[in-house]
Structure 1
Amino acid sequence: MKQESTLRIPAFTAYEENGVMVWYGELKQAGALSFSLEGKGGDLFIEKVTKDGIREPGFESFTKTARCFVGGKDRISVTPGYWRFALKSPGKAEALLLSGSVIKEAHFNLKERKNAASVHLSYALDKEVKAEWFYNEVTVRTEPLYSYYMACGFARGYFGIQVNSPTERRIIFSIWDSGNEGVDRSKVADEDQVKLLAKGDGVIASGFGNEGTGGHSHVVYPWKKDTTYKFLVHAEPVQIGKGRQTVYSGYFWFPEKRAWGLIARFRAPKDGNYLSGLYSFNENFGGDNGQLLRLAEFGPTWVRNSDNKWQELKTASFSCDATGRAKDRLDFAAGVAKSGRWYLSNGGFVKNGIAYKDPLPPRKVHGKPPELLPK
């Protein structure tokens, strides 16, 4: 008799949920699945994941279908979809072992990085447009820890809101230095470093590294999900001596004040450009909870050029980070939400088949540019 092949899913790919070791994976066929554990462990519960990433934040329910004991092996019938494998007390295992006809096309992330794939909206903008202002809105629908919802991204920086801890949330505006240093800002020459020119009340500003280097600013602010927030970036090319630079300013609309507030203003060396490479994204910057759904809606999105003419950005395409492009994680989605705005989701085992560089479907045209700009 031909021996069945086995799919080994290492322990380092599992999440810890309330002290329980949990693996997630997609089975793409219906049929028989055999399962067992390698190493120490306890009861293994296998459950079908059900979800609706657009109407509800995260999982709706789990339905227990089977269990086995470490060292034993069992077989069940499964249907296509995402499945949850939960190892309960008394201990841990070295790996989850699966076999049977359905593992031929099964998909599990087998790498140690457990973050959900970062997902992006790349906005179409003609190269000849001298975009001086970039306006966008974001409404967060789910709010797991270690989430960054970025509204206004551009070639030199990014601007958005972040969940940092159970008690702290931030508005973040950052600009990259010149040069190619990726980690240590102390290695960046002074003439290549972004300079802080001004910051708003309560804003903390510093340098950053480890993702490129640059100037960082943030203010602690209790933003809430299902509330729409407005972001605005201004770019002013300047000539200093023989060098061209650009002054970038990030403004946030504080709804309780009904006014724009400056987050920070930085001068970027070796630049002299207007805004380009415009985008938004969802990021899971901590891998401990990469299984949770991150969902946000974006727009309306506008730019105003150097001639003071507004242009609505009506087309966009989808992109994702290396985790998504390498297909380590496939649970991401993008499209048009019921609100008529574009949405992005990552994690939560929700997908709609969108792929890297796919164009997004047309969204609702807003048609009315922002009325108020900072003084």
Structure 2
Amino acid sequence: MHTKRHWKPFTATCLGLSLMTLGFSLNPGLAGAQSKTFTVPANKGYVLPFTAGRHQGVSVPVGYPETIRPVSKWTDKTKSVVWYLYQEPGDYNFSFDGQVDKGIDLPFELSISDADPAGQFNEQHQRITFKGSGSRDTFTVGSIAIADTGYYRYELKPKADPKNAITLHSLFFTAENGKGEVHQTDYQSSPSVHLSFSSTAPTTKSYDWIYGEILVPKGGDPLATYYESLGFYRGYMGIQTNSDQERRVLFSVWDSKDAEKDKSIQQSDLVTLVAKGPGTVTNNFGGEGTGGQCYNPNANWETGKPVHFLMNVLPDSNGSVVISAWYQIDTKPWVYVASWRAPKEKRYFDGYYSFIENYGYTNGWMRRMAYYYNAWGKQSGGGDWVSFNRVRFSHTDGKPGQRVDYEQGVSPAYPDRFYMASGGYTPTKLTANEIPLGKQIPIKDLTSFKKQVQDALKEEVKRQ
């Protein structure tokens, strides 16, 4: 549900800043004894238009969670800085804390809009000029009336060469009579959202094969996104948007202990590579536990086409398990990724989980989205395939005033698919957590996959 939000019309000429009459006004009464001021670090914004790489034309240093480092090195007049702020109803005085080189006047356009594309607020624009004194100043903009709680988008865009002459430290919002709240998000990434799969059908919850599909729709694939498909007790598998040219399939398995934190770790705790496919790159990873990682840099999955995932776990007599993974893009042949040996482990899969994660901060306002569906597990010991038709939701944020822009549940467009979305600074949406049980077994004959596992074990023996 969306209600109209309003900015209080105003005009003014203020300290360090000249304003034209386009919808802003200065209200000195807002800064009364009962007022409260909210400080938004200027580096809690984004650079738009987004370009990959470090050289953005303006520096907005990443800071988590409350680090204040200034926006600076503004040399590109085509680049804006955009803040998405969560605000509650109230009247606010709005100002910038910054510095402009002495004797330089810098014209900008300030645009304020509803962050939700479905919102009814009409975008407003204001031409402003920062006048440089060479000292750190408070540049008072004017008053803003917020009628409804939600995300608001503030864009500051140069109208001439910024000349690397401006530094912005903070945005100030002073609420009249203490009514209102303003929150920047602690991090500029987007929420990680998860689905944990299970079944309404009778099952042992012990599976030696698991299967799932992902379809990323067009426009749902910003850079630095990981769409995990099969997550389990020792690792995970999924797809990534690594660059405009590279779309990886990734498969990782954790060690028995964290090599970066646990000093008691032994060589026997580390995962080892059993075998890998011809296009697979392998390495070690850390930062979230340690383990073995592999990926196919030339997978080249595409939006609008499904990616199929298959994984097998084979317990061995020496107290370890061998975990193998494959993928298929649309109707192309299946691709073998690798097999890893996970030590000190005896378990079969008991189901799996999926997620969407933004592992890059600089494009965290973009919306990531994918369908997750046709989920199955084959019961160990030669049992039947079981359809996973129920999910449990979870996420990494959702705190008031923070990142609540995520969606999870049964797709409104496809009643036989779950979906997840993250980012966009839109309202939270949660739908149903159950779909009908699947009827079509995904893979009827596993013979060729079983043979690849056995061939991998033979290759491991030869190396020893």
The TM-score bracket by the shorter chain reads: 0.7 to 0.9
Shift, 1:17, TM fit: 1.6
Match of 2:44 in 1: 13
1:140 aligns with 2:209: no
Task: Quickly say closer, same or farther: Cα 1:170–1:61, change in 2 above 3 A.
Answer: farther
- Where does residue 418 of structure 2 map in the other structure? 342
TM-score, structure 2 normalization = 0.70
What secondary structure does 2:180 align onto? helix
Shift of 1:82: 1.8
The residue aligned with 1:56 is: none
In structure 1, the residue matched to 2:455 is: none
Return the offset for 1:47: 2.0
Amino acid at match of 1:368: Q
Change (3 A) 1:63 1:245: same
Equivalence map 1:276-291=2 (5 Å):
276=350, 278-291=352-365
Q: 1:1-375, aligned counterparts within 5 Å?
A: 1-18=32-49, 19-29=79-89, 31-40=90-99, 43=108, 44-51=110-117, 63-66=123-126, 68-70=128-130, 71-80=139-148, 81-89=150-158, 90=162, 91-100=166-175, 104-109=180-185, 111=186, 113-124=187-198, 128-141=204-217, 142-182=220-260, 188-220=265-297, 221-240=299-318, 244-255=319-330, 257=332, 259-276=333-350, 278-306=352-380, 307-321=382-396, 323-324=397-398, 328-337=402-411, 338-340=413-415, 341-354=417-430, 360-374=432-446, 375=448
2:113 and 2:121 in contact (8 A); partners too: no
Contact 2:259 2:289 in 1 (8 A): yes
CA 1:212/1:62 → structure 2, altered by over 3 Å: closer, same or farther? farther
Alignment match, 1:55: none
Q: Is the 8 A contact 1:49 1:62 kept in 2?
A: no
Aligned-partner Cα distance in 1 for 2:120–2:359: 24
Q: Distance in 1 between matches of 2:224 and 2:212?
A: 22
Quick one: distance in 2 between partners of 1:270 and 1:360?
38
**1:318–1:360 Cα contact (<8 Å) kept:** no
Unaligned runs of 5+ in 2: 1-31, 50-78, 101-105, 131-138, 449-464
The structural deviation recorded for 1:131 is 0.8
Equivalence for 2:454? none
Q: Which has the higher contact order (CA 8 A, sep 6+)?
A: 1
Larger proportion of strand: 1
Distance 1:161 1:183 in 2: 28
Corresponding letter in the other structure for 1:13: K
What amino acid does structure 2 have at the position aligned with 1:73?
Answer: V
Segments of 5+ residues of structure 1 without an aligned counterpart are 53-58
Secondary structure of the residue aligned to 1:47 is strand
Alpha-carbon shift at residue 350 of structure 1 (Å):
2.4
TM-score by length of 1: 0.86
Q: What's the RMSD between the two structures over aligned residues? A: 2.8
- The Cα of 1:365 is off from its aligned counterpart by 3.6
Q: Does the 8 Å contact 1:119/1:281 carry over to 2?
A: yes
How has the CA–CA distance of structure 1 residues 69 and 128 changed in structure 2, closer, same or farther, with 3 Å as cutoff? farther
